[in-house]
Every structure is written in C-alpha cells, then in structure tokens.
Amino acid sequence: MSTPLERWVDEQARLTKPKKVYWCDGSEEEAHRIMEIGIHEEKINGLPVFHELDQKSWPKSYLHRSHPTDVARTEHLTYVCHSKKELAGPNNNWMAPEEAKAKLTKLSDGCMRGKTMYVLPYMMGHPDSPYAKACVQITDVSYVAMSMRIMTRMSKKVIEKIGNKENFVKGLHSVADFDPNKRFIMHFPDEQFVWSIGSGYGGNALLGKKCFSLRLASWLGLQEGWLAEHMVIMGVEDPKGNVTYITAALPSACGKTNLAMMQSALPGYKVWTLGDDIAWLNVGPDGRLWAINPEAGFFGVVPGTSMKTNPNMMTALKKGDFYPTLFTNTALNTDTNEPWWEGADAPLPVNALDWRGKPWDKASGSKAAHPNSRFTLSVYNSRTLSPEFDNPKGVPISAIIFGGKRTHLIPLVFESRSWQHGVYMGARMGSETTAAAMHKEGVLRRDPMAMLPFCGYNMGDYFGHWLKMGKKMTNPPKIFGVNWFRKDDAGEYIWPGFGDNIRVLKWIMDRVNDRVKPIDTFIGGVPKIEDLDLSGLDIPREKLNKLFEIDRLGWSVELNEVEKFFSGFGKTFPEELWHEYKKVAMAIK
Ligand code: GTP
Ligand code: SPV
Ligand code: MN
C-alpha cells in the first residue's frame, strides 16, 4: 500500500511528467552527487548551474547565476488563495482556489519534461521541537534542491515522521521555462500547500522559507494562537555573562542578518545568533514569549558584506564546515576565480564578469554584483551560533524591536508605553523599499511588523491577533522601535550602524532591567543621551541630537499616511489601535 505522501508525489509526477523522480535523503554524499549534476548542467548567462570558485580562499563555495529576469521576489505575482477574498485582506493578491489551481494545472502540464523531479523531505524547526513542522517540496532544479539542503533540516527521517499522515506541508515548484509572464507563487492555506512556477529565486522557490514559514505559518498561528514573524532572534551577552534574548523585525534588506551576526563594538558584549530572518513565537507555560528559528541556514544580502561591516559573516562564508556555500548573482573575478561585490574587502578586480556574465569594469557605470545578490550557507558555519540554537524549546524573549529604513523622521531608538502601544508602533511602521523585491527602490511604503509581503491573511485580523497574544502573556517582552538609517542634510548616514548598534541594544537591555529611565515623548520613551554608551565613538553632540530630533510637522504628515493605511482595513482594524493612533494625533496638535 502506498502512503499519502507517495500518492501525492505520483500525482505531481503525472502532471509535470519528469524524466525521473529522485527522492533526496539529505546526506552529504547525495549533495556531492547533485553538485556534480549542476556542474554539468546547461549554462545560464554563461555559467553552469554551479560554478566551482577558488577552493583555497572560498572552501566548498560555488557561484550560481540566475535567469536575468529572476533576481528578486515578485510580490505582484504572489497570491494567497483563501476560500474567501476577505480572508486575504487588502494586503494580499487573491484568486479563488479553484481558479488558481486550474491556471497552474495548465501551466504545469509537462513542465518537467526531460528533467529530474527532486523530492525534498525536510523539517522546519528542530525535529524534537513541539513547534516543528514536517514538509515535502518537489522541485525540478538542482540549485533549489541544494539551497533547501542548506536552509532546512533535510533528511529521509522526515518521510518516516510523516508516515501515513495526510497533513504534511506540501510545496510544488518548477521553473518551467522561466517565462516571467507565466510566473506565479500561489498559496493554499487550507491545504498547507504552496504551488510556485516560473521562478528559481529564493523567496519564490525555497518554499519552506517565506511561503510556508511566514505566509502559511502566520495563518496557522492565527488558528492555533502563535505568531510567525519576519524577525531576527539573538542573544546579547553582557560583561557579567547574562544573556538577554531579543527578536527584531526589519523589512527585507534592512539589516536583520547584520544585526543577528553583529561583532560588538563595546568590549565585553557579545551577540549570539539564533536566526536572521524568521521567528516562530509561542507563549510558554511560564507566561513568557518563546522563539524558535524554523530555518537552519542564511539566505543573505551579499553587497556591503565585509570584514569591516560583518566580520562574523565573512568568517562563516570562508569556513566551509557544511557542504556547500552558494553565491548567487555576484560578480566573478576571472583572474582569481573569486566572487566579488560592491563593498567587498577585495579591491576592484582587473578582469571581471558582472552578475549577468558580461565583461565589467568600473567605467561601465553599472553594478558588478546584482544589488540583491545573495549567499546561501548553513548556520553551523557561524562562530556566533548560539549554544541554544538546537534547543527544541527555543529561547525566552525579553524585548521585541521594530525597525525600518527611514532616512528621515524616525529616531535611533524609542520605547513603547505598553504592549498595545508597541503593537501600534509595529502596525504604523514604514520603510523605504529595497532590491529584495522587484520594484522601484527607495520609495517609502507602510510595512507593518516588516510583514506586508509575508502575512498570509488580512492584516487587520493580524493586528488583532498581536493584541490577543499580549493578553495571553503574564510577562510580555518590552517593545522598541529602531532606525539605523537616518541621514543628515548632506545625505550621509548619521549613525555608524553595524557593530555600533550594540550601543542601542545595551540601552534596550538597561530598560528591560529598569536600570535607566527614558524621556517621555508623544512617540514613546527616548533615551537620555548620557544613558547611551558612546565610549570610543566620536560623534559631535549636535549630530547625536539630530538622531533623536522629533519633527512635529514631519510626524503630522506621517500620521496622515498612517490614518489612510489603517482605514484600508475597514472593520477588521482593531479599535484599540485607533485609540493609540488618536492619542498620538492629539499630542501632536
Ligand atoms: P533580508 O534577507 O532581505 O530579509 O534582509 P536583512 O534584513 O537580513 O538585511 P541585511 O542584514 O542583509 O542588510 C541589507 C543591507 O543593509 C546590506 O547592504 C547591509 O550592508 C545594510 N546594513 C545592515 N545593517 C546596517 C546598519 O546598521 N547601517 C547601515 N548604514 N547599513 C546597514
Ligand atoms: C527577503 O526578501 O526578505 C528575504 C529574501 O529574506 S527571500 O528569501 O527571497 O524572501
Ligand atoms: Mn527576509
């Protein structure tokens, strides 16, 4: 007798018609085999699927070039197919499930012809964690199979775990012919099923990541009383050895990976990494909020990564403990066979090919590496990996940070007055767009809790769920806002950022332990400058004041935007958050 899993795989094979079906076991030996296949596969932009980089300087590292139209998430082609449109809300594209399936069935008929169908059994979360989920993804791309091996806990044991169960998480992925006109990322929340066609890019193709662990998981969290969030999880150790666990939600390409892997600029402080992108948050029996990272790898932004900005990530990238590390869409120094990118430590290459495989020099005026070029590597390469990473229970959270990329208005750090006010702070968040999705960069948009592209249901209900979660905790985390990106009149960042962000985390920890008091303002509590540890940092006082300046006119313009945004959710928008909004609006007048 076949199992429901085997029957499901058979059914997909009948539709997509691959040359062969290959069940992966997650072993290293198998990874070498798939790598060999990719090294000899058809060229994209002049390279095979995997190009071996110089193994002395970049052990176990390979370069992949994507299809030139396929370099970032495509939010306009991403749908959440709830039974009713209202469930998806104004924050999602919606299509009726039957219509979406009919469309995708047509596009998928024979889409794997001549190709291998990889069946990938994987866990999101530690297999012993009560919060972990057993999943299976099908894909027709060796690069996706390899990336899923790095990003998740892939193992044949998951097949045993699923056994005869019907309710495992399903993902069907095919790049078909990469045609952007036939590209769709469709979610079926009632079936825990993601169907993605036409794109091989990270968030569109690694279905355990944004598609399952955020969009579908956020919907599950609503039913079951937990949260799936676009958040860093980190432990910050003080000089006495006490570790405070903090989560931070920052929109795509706004600094999560760098925060999670920070090399502290303050002696005696150390950041321990638990996750750089996704957190699943549950209320523990102790009334606190507990976080696990469902992932096991980093899919991080390459440009800007260097020994100066992120020495811990550079060391992890060169460590090569776990096989393999992938670079996607960086430039290639053809003299040394090394990857190169804007902001790298290595000097400008003399002979280089850009991310498309075209000869490049500085005079060409274009970027050598794609601004959204990425590395994919295992967390186990990281020397800052927290000893608690594999703890199935997760870690207890003392503070939640909401931040964004705001060149104006938003201060370096501020604190909410209560859980409810903190939820309002998260809901009104805005951020300037980045290269992580296909849209114009640098445009301010609302991005509540950094979840706008990832909340799998109506965000009005999502805000209500956040409020409810607060009521379930006897000891909830304190909520803070941060902004590393404020600029001066000359257009320069005021705050040095990166390792110096520890100074902000230290103030947050001092607030968690009630060691200092904030100054109350209408947006929340801001630090007294003398309570910030600025030792060894040379920033003139007037510049520092700029970081905390509260521009009333700017805030009233902002509030008009916020009001319009909140109103879009109609009756689903919680009254409690209107109440918080009105308090701020009154205070500004
Ligand atoms: P996703 O993987 O897309 O979710 O992004 P992320 O939030 O993990 O962003 P990441 O840490 O990769 O940072 C994106 C960009 O922001 C990189 O180019 C970084 O160099 C830059 N960045 C990160 N932290 C800081 C900071 O503190 N200050 C400044 N100025 N730039 C930063
Ligand atoms: C993001 O865009 O927020 C990412 C990269 O973390 S992706 O996996 O493509 O979503
Ligand atoms: Mn992300």
Q: Which DSSP string do the residues of 219-280 spell out, in sequence order?
A: HHHHHHT-EEESEEEEEEE-TTS-EEEEEEE--TTSSHHHHHT---SSTT-EEEEEESS-EE
Number of Cβ within a 10 Å radius of residue 86? 15
Query: In tens digits, what is the pLDDT along the chain, a chain of 589 residues?
Result: 899 999 999 999 999 999 999 999 999 999 999 999 999 998 888 999 999 999 999 999 999 999 999 999 999 999 999 999 999 999 999 999 999 999 999 999 999 999 999 999 999 999 999 999 999 999 999 999 999 999 999 999 999 999 999 999 999 999 999 999 999 999 999 999 999 999 999 999 999 999 999 999 999 999 999 999 999 999 999 999 999 999 999 999 999 999 999 999 999 999 999 999 999 999 999 999 999 999 999 999 999 999 999 999 999 999 999 999 999 999 999 999 999 999 999 999 999 999 999 999 999 899 999 999 999 999 999 999 999 999 999 999 999 999 999 999 999 999 999 999 999 999 999 999 999 999 999 999 999 999 999 999 999 999 999 999 999 999 999 999 999 999 999 999 999 999 999 999 999 999 999 999 999 999 999 999 999 999 999 999 999 999 999 999 999 999 999 999 999 999 999 999 999 999 999 999 8
Closest of 443, 532, 522 to residue 495, by C-alpha: 532
C-alpha to C-alpha distance for 72 and 420, rounded to whole angstroms: 34
C-alpha to C-alpha distance for 219 and 455, rounded to whole angstroms: 8
How many angstroms does the Cα of residue 23 sit away from the middle of ligand 1?
Answer: 36
E strand or H helix at 11: helix 4-16
Q: Catalytic residue at 135? A: no
> Is the CB–ligand 2 distance for residue 372 below 6 Å?
no
The pair of structure tokens assigned to 106 is 């047509």
Closest of 141, 136, 83, 133 to residue 116, by C-alpha: 141
* pLDDT given for residue 14 in this prediction: 98
Cα dihedral across residues 139, 141, 147, 149: positive or negative:
positive
Give the Cα-Cα-Cα angle 52, 54, 57 (nearest 5 degrees). Answer: 135
How many angstroms does the Cα of residue 548 sit away from the middle of ligand 2?
Answer: 30
* pLDDT given for residue 228 in this prediction: 99
All structural domains of the chain, each given as residue ranges with its CATH number in brackets, are 4-46+69-224 (3.40.449.10), 228-297+388-588 (3.90.228.20)
C-alpha to C-alpha distance for 248 and 234, rounded to whole angstroms: 9
> Is the CB–ligand 2 distance for residue 73 below 6 Å?
yes
> Is the CB–ligand 2 distance for residue 374 below 6 Å?
no
pTM of the entire predicted model: 0.98
List the residue whose alpha carbon is closest to atom 29 of ligand 1: 497
> Is the CB–ligand 2 distance for residue 60 below 6 Å?
no
C-alpha to C-alpha distance for 461 and 458, rounded to whole angstroms: 6
C-alpha to C-alpha distance for 518 and 531, rounded to whole angstroms: 9
Q: Which atom of ligand 2 is nearest to the CA of 251?
A: 3
C-alpha to C-alpha distance for 415 and 259, rounded to whole angstroms: 19
List the residue whose alpha carbon is closest to atom 20 of ligand 1: 304
Q: Is 589 exposed, middle or buried (0-12, 13-18, 19+ CB in 10 A)?
A: exposed
Tell me the best of 254, 302, 310, 504 to mutate to test the pocket of ligand 1, counting ligand atoms within 8 Å of each CB and taking the most: 254
Number of Cβ within a 10 Å radius of residue 53? 23
* pLDDT given for residue 36 in this prediction: 98
How many angstroms does the Cα of residue 256 sit away from the middle of ligand 1?
Answer: 6
List the residue whose alpha carbon is closest to atom 4 of ligand 2: 252
List the residue whose alpha carbon is closest to atom 19 of ligand 1: 304
> Is the CB–ligand 1 distance for residue 253 below 6 Å?
yes
Buried b (16+ CB within 10 A) or exposed e, 345-375: eeeebeebbbbbbeebeeeeeebbbbbbbbb
> Is the CB–ligand 2 distance for residue 481 below 6 Å?
no
Annotated catalytic residue: which of 111, 135, 211, 254? 254
> Is the CB–ligand 1 distance for residue 498 below 6 Å?
yes
How many angstroms does the Cα of residue 206 sit away from the middle of ligand 2?
Answer: 10
* pLDDT given for residue 43 in this prediction: 85
